[in-house]
Structure 1
Amino acid sequence: MMPSVVWLCIGWVFASVGVACLPIRKQFVPAGILLLAAPVLIVMIGLQFGWIFALLGLAAFISMFRNPLRYLAARLRGENPELPR
């Protein structure tokens, strides 16, 4: 039987695919929730399966959310990046 963290991760992936199908302006709130949930899942993966798998999950997370992470980094630097229409 698969551990529950695996089922949570599978659900997160399906939710991400669903959000990706939305128009860009409607993605902000659900993508923000997924963005906040991902580090929690990555830590759970690290605790249950080891930190090598957590690092792989972190690499996948950064790859998937590279544009929102760039936007947040620009906002933290005090810049005002342009949002897509």
Structure 2
Amino acid sequence: MTLSLILACLWAVVANVAAMIPSRDRHRARAMVLIATGIPLVGYVTYENGPWIGLLVLAAGMSVLRWPVAYLVRRMTGGGDASS
């Protein structure tokens, strides 16, 4: 197993632990940190293991961070009020 895949697994564990801890801001700050660390990590995984594994890691990250992805899609397509 490459270093990038080990880091991606560690990122997934940290993301799940962060989701279990109560938060007043509905986990927004933690989601931003996870996104900021996850995007370069997906690039690193893709660089070391190829595009198919990179897409799998991207899909796994999107499943963990599904609300920011849904918000982005809603905002890009213009479907509904993005401020709620």
Q: Percent identity?
A: 26
Tell me what 1:64 maps to: 64
Q: Aligned letter for 2:58? A: L
Supply the RMSD in Å over aligned alpha carbons.
2.3
Contact 1:71/1:81, CA 8 A, preserved across alignment: no
Q: Distance in 2 between matches of 1:69 and 1:7?
A: 24
Q: Secondary structure at the match of 1:79?
A: coil
- Aligned-pair CA distance for 1:52: 0.6
Q: Secondary structure at the match of 1:9?
A: helix
Q: How many residues align?
A: 81
Q: How high is the TM-score relative to the length of structure 1?
A: 0.73
Higher relative contact order at CA 8 Å, sep ≥6: structure 1 or structure 2?
2
After the TM superposition, list the runs of 4 or more consecutive aligned residues in structure 1 that deviate by more than 6 angstroms: none
